[in-house]
Structure 1
């Protein structure tokens, strides 16, 4: 079975690299294209057996499963322009949160799904968020779940929690990278530790924390209890966080949802 990927930007490239490294798809069965075709050829340098097509119509014709990895406001034009090529036996998969599977099905006659990946999938880890259209064939559902399982933990979500789920899974790595960098900067500014040493220590701490959670040795609350001895140094640090963080995360989710509403409004105008 041939798999096509339209768009080799940040997330498209991560998806391609993860699928290749997990051997979920053989390179010879993968067809890719991009508006700036040079970006697609850069991936072919990395995976010589991957097929690069300059014509999107040809990619869709020759692929059975097609991932659409373009910006939200570019998806409608791709669907409408190439609709005749998305025949009933195929499956179209969007990777962007503002486009629902219902919107995909309103344009296309083939099976439709949405897979929202995360940068963590590049390490064959983390979560991918899945939604299937009402008319998505059960065979396609099983196949997509199987392929995505090779690069992540697939989690089915309802439409009403799409944004917050994506905030946690897809945006979360950037948010916590920002917080970690601030954590490191604070250590460097307030003590004699250097940037390189602080970065190594913080990075290894996060990896260890992830392993504790992955192996279910501790839960998040238990971790705090184990480290935070009453009247100890960690407790003082937690108190500083409680005093200064305030409602920062509530504001974060408000901000992402406000931007999401803007994106939704744009897609509603296109899809009707």
Structure 2
């Protein structure tokens, strides 16, 4: 299989590294394409055996799978200025937030499109990706795509494409929500007099431990909270403050705003 990555940014490069790490393709069959001429040398140091090009250097693109990894805000411009034609035999895999299959098909004049929404932990092979496909794509073709996606973590097929905007808001943007909360906890620690590095250690290890407890327990989240929050204790005082300030409601509103923005990107 020959794979071309259109838009060799962080996500495009992390996908490429995973494909090579698990030997799903040969380095010689990987073609990385960047809009920024100045980035070519840096990309070449990371992928010395692969083909590296800028957009305007390509006349014909020969690939079984073309991954569209440009920023969704730039897709309309990129599609209009694309200096090469996409072969009918190629399949397109979009990892752009918000851009629908229908819009990709129309702007690229190409029918065979799979749309996916990964998240940043794919950089470590611990991501999760929701994906769906245009009509006419065979089961075996989908399995090939899923095998590639699973090299970056886990993947989930969705029948309803509209749910990908919710996936974008929930898991695509999700890592930033956790970073935001962790940052607030670390700053609270320093405000209470704990050294910043030590505060980071306490918070990050607490997060890691809590994750493993969730993953290895049959208890619900409500039950796990009750296990920590004894009546009249310190945890209860914190949770009461969260409830009084409607923290859960604020988080929900933020996630719904992210979903709405994903929808706007397609307009």
Q: Which runs of no fewer than 5 residues in structure 1 stay unpaired?
A: 266-272
Residue 60 (structure 1) shift: 6.0
Residue 164, structure 1, aligned to residue 180, structure 2: no
The answer for the alignment partner of 1:269 in structure 2 is: none
Alignment of 1:154-233 (within 5 A): 154-157=155-158, 158-189=160-191, 191-216=192-217, 218-233=219-234
Q: TM-score, normalised by structure 2?
A: 0.87
Are the structure 2 counterparts of residues 126 and 47 from structure 1 closer, same or farther at C-alpha, using a change threshold of 3 Å? same
**Structure 2, unaligned stretches of length 5 or more?**
none
SS of the counterpart of 2:266? helix
Q: Distance in 1 between matches of 2:25 and 2:255?
A: 36
Q: Name the Cα RMSD after superposition.
A: 2.4
Q: Is the 8 A contact 1:111 1:137 kept in 2?
A: no
Assess if the C-alpha contact under 8 Å between 1:111 and 1:135 holds in 2.
Answer: yes
Distance between the aligned counterparts of 2:32 and 2:234, measured in 1? 53
Task: Identify the residue that residue 5 of structure 2 maps to in structure 1.
Answer: 5
- State the distance in 2 between where 1:12 and 1:24 align: 15
- In the alignment, the residues of structure 2 paired with residue 115 and residue 56 of structure 1 have an alpha-carbon distance, to the nearest angstrom, of 26
TM-score of the pair, normalised by structure 1: 0.86
Shift in alpha-carbon separation, 1:30–1:212, aligned structure 2, 3 A: farther
1:11 Cα shift?
A: 2.3
The counterpart of 2:257, out of the listed 255, 258, 263, is: 255
Kindly tell me: are residues 218 and 120 of structure 1, through their superposed partners in 2, closer, same or farther at Cα, counting changes over 3 Å?
farther
Give, in whole Å, the separation in 2 of the partners of 1:55 and 1:96.
18
Q: How many residues align?
A: 264
Per the alignment, residue 147 of structure 2 pairs with: 146
The answer on whether the counterparts of 2:118 and 2:172 sit within 8 Å (CA) in structure 1 is: yes
